[in-house]
A = this chain, B = another copy of it.
């Protein structure tokens, strides 16, 4: 049984908990996999630790009431440990870092990550911040600690982008990855194609929960750039920082641009591109024959250009609760296989 500590219990960690709640029998029977949540630490909604495991149903009941403190009293339950203590002193085998991203400092998550590896725990990331700031430090630390560092959920949610690029295509030389890595901007561009203005489409994306109240990380291209940076590091061992990326968002794209591309049989997409030499995120007018041109709404996609296979394209969800939760599960399954 793999024992898990969840750092952060938002959307994504809840997506994983939900899968574990509903699919544990199937995962055990088909894959011999079994996991138990022993710790949950949040910044403002309390924290719980129980070496014999927390009941997922009760976690949901408590969090829906607003705070983990609502979790019932049971033998062996500890309340209120701070996150660092949870990482250092809990009996978890794996720390799942799912707190909000900070692309400038990676903090406080970056400290949590190093502490988890110091404590001899595997590390599974949903949070891009620490990887954007310190990918190579973390990889080196994990190697020295003899523990796994995995981050499938950070790029295209649970679509197996990292897995395909680094494992399924391991025998290929990948020279370039091009992708639509941000769902909000792709949704906006899709809506503009049916006549909506940029402002209307953005408002709708916000209403549907795709875009944040402050949509700048999405529409200015930085969310896509962060994902592209992680992908480049994983594929090419690239040392790029976000500052090395040429980044341009979609706010300059007019309804007129979109409509006139359409009459030419083309489509504007926010394309992230990385090679061993560098990376960019910018709106590109693609011919409709490009697989990326046909990726609509909040769906994401990546095309790997390879030596032996030519282009291989993977299309799948780029966001969502169960979709991103599955990315965490996929990493846990890899840890299970290796262990």
Contact = CB atoms under 8 A, between A and B. Distances in A.
A207 B299 CA distance: 38
Contact of A326 (B308, B315, B333): B308
A94 interface: no
Given A291-B294, A329-B171, A330-B171, A310 B315 contact: no
Interface in A157-214: 157-160, 163-164, 167-173
A19 interface: yes
A261 interface: no
Contacts of A317: 309-310, 312
A312 B309 contact: no
A240 interface: no
Contacts of A289: 294, 296
B315 A313 contact: yes
A10 B312 CA distance: 25
Interface string A288-306: 1101011110000000000
A14 interface: no
Contact of A168 (B163, B171, B294): B163
Nearest to A15: B308
B309 A159 contact: yes
A58 interface: no
B316 A311 contact: yes
Given A31-B170, A315-B291, A158 B308 contact: yes
Contacts of A326: 171-172, 308-309
A33 B311 CA distance: 24
A325 B308 contact: yes
Given A31-B171, A289-B294, A316 B313 contact: yes
Given A160-B312, A167-B168, A291-B294, 19 more contacts: A19-B171, A23-B171, A27-B171, A159-B309, A160-B168, A164-B314, A168-B330, A171-B326, A171-B329, A289-B294, A291-B291, A291-B295, A308-B325, A308-B326, A309-B316, A309-B317, A309-B322, A310-B323, A313-B314
26 contacts: A19-B171, A23-B171, A27-B171, A158-B309, A160-B312, A163-B167, A163-B168, A164-B164, A164-B314, A167-B168, A168-B168, A168-B330, A170-B333, A171-B326, A172-B326, A291-B291, A308-B325, A309-B316, A309-B317, A309-B322, A310-B323, A312-B314, A313-B313, A313-B316, A314-B314, A315-B315
